Amino acid sequence: MNQLKKYLGLIWIALGPLIIIFLLQQAIDKIGAAPVGMDRTNTSLQWGIIILIFIPICAGLVIFGKYAWNQEYDKLPDDM
């Protein structure tokens, strides 16, 4: 079980930046497709907020993965 936790840590580390890259690509596509004017401004604002919210979440995924890779979660009590 501990080896599974360790290798899942690599997945979490890789998943954090991949999510941000995916969100940035989607934002560029959606903002570029929006008509010029107020619609583009609203779309830009919405995507800006979404990306700003997900940056700390993805940073948390990377930190969680780092701890899992370093086997910090192997030291949990047995009664959990």
**What are the DSSP calls for 20-59, one per residue?**
HHHHHHHHHHHHHHSPTTHHHHHHHHHHHHHHHHHHHHHH
42, amino acid identity = N
64 occurs within a structural domain: yes
54 occurs within a structural domain: yes
53 occurs within a structural domain: yes
Distance CA(20)–CA(11), nearest Å, equals: 15
Which structural domain, as residue segments, surrounds residue 16? Answer: 1-70
77 occurs within a structural domain: no
* pTM assigned to the model: 0.81
Show pLDDT as tens, one digit a residue, over the chain (80 residues): 888 889 999 999 999 999 999 999 999 999 999 888 899 999 999 999 999 999 999 999 999 999 999 988 887 776 55
Total tally of structural domains belonging to the chain:
1
